[in-house]
Amino acid sequence: MEYLYVPEPQALGSMAARWVAREILKLPTAVLGLPTGSTPIEMYKVLVRMVQEGLVSFAQATTFNLDEYVGLNADHPQSYATFMREHFWSRVDLPKESVHIPRGSAPDIVAECLCYDEKLEEAGGIDIQILGLGINGHIGFNEPSHNLQTRTHVVDLTPETIEANARFFPDIDSVPRQAITMGIGSIMQSNKILLLVSGEQKKEILYKTLFGPVSTEVPASILQLHSELTVLTDILHYI
């Protein structure tokens, strides 16, 4: 594991963007796994700027988003598809057909999960996975549980997650109760993982993630078993 400390949140975004840019320059056809949430916003902003300046291109890349809320269609203001369109997809040179996100409003959600995994498999899996960290240790929407699922599946969101994500919705009752998420197996099979963690409120969960026991109750702790994990954070832990 590589632990990269940055003294402020702003720098975290630019460091993350440069890390991703280096990977894309090395492998322009990379399959990227992408997160949403507030933590990666600055990274996307800097990547957009780098594309506009001609420093990097996503023209040959493919992307798979980690997750989507069940019941929200791609045009819903709070869907992750809208988030991605606004922050990244519409601003870079990624071909439309190379962009993937689960369809939260698919009529058959189980079939949608299978179809997502098929596309992932056709693409050869994820080369570079970028992750945020939920306050309860979730990655994607793989919530704490007595077992973890390896492939794309539907998940019931925990009360902590519903509360944490209510800030993006008009009120807590509007937060969907379920989501589709890429499974832990697909995440762990990525060649490289970049974990982005920002804010003192995540100090304890980051500690448990990196130094606690590997446990399904802290899904992110499984990342300790990945051989190419880079943690980029503005939280100082002495290691």
Contacting residues toward ligand GLP, per CB under 6 A: 35-39, 66-67, 132-134, 140-141, 161, 165
Question: Which of 62, 132 has the CB closer to ligand GLP?
Answer: 132
Which residue among 23, 42, 67, 127 is the active-site one? 67
Least distance to ligand GLP, CB of residue 69, Å = 9
Which of 87, 138, 153, 226 is labelled catalytic? 138
Cα separation, 10 vs 6, in Å, equals 9
Tell me whether residue 133 or residue 218 sits nearer to ligand GLP (CB atom). 133
What is the nearest approach in angstroms of ligand GLP to the Cβ of residue 54?
A: 29
CB atoms within 10 A of CB 77: 11
Alpha-helix runs per DSSP H in the chain = 9-26, 41-52, 80-87, 109-122, 159-165, 184-188, 203-211
For residue 33, what are its two tokens?
A: 């796994």
Taking Cα atoms as reference points, which of 142, 129, 130, 131 lies closest to residue 217?
Answer: 142
Burial class (CB in 10 A: 0-12, 13-18, 19+), 201: exposed
Q: Which residue number, 133 or 193, has a Cβ lying nearer to ligand GLP?
A: 133
- CB of residue 160 to ligand GLP, shortest distance in Å: 10
- Comparing CB distances to ligand GLP, the nearer of 62 and 181 is 181
94 vs 175, which CB is nearer to ligand GLP?
Answer: 175
* Residue 67 is a catalytic residue: yes
Distance (Å, rounded) from C-alpha 13 to C-alpha 16? 5
Asked if residue 161 lies in contact with residue 136, where contact means CB atoms within 8 angstroms, the answer is yes
Query: From the CB of 164, what's the least distance to ligand GLP, in Å?
Result: 7
For the question of residue 42 being annotated catalytic, the response is no
- Would you state the structure tokens that stand for residue 122, as one six-digit string? 């056709």
User: Looking at 138-237, which runs of residues are DSSP E strands?
Assistant: 153-156, 178-181, 192-197, 229-233
Instruction: Write down the least CB distance from residue 183 to ligand GLP, Å.
Output: 13
Q: Point out the catalytic residue in the list 42, 68, 117, 136.
A: 136
- The catalytic residues are 67, 136, 138, 143
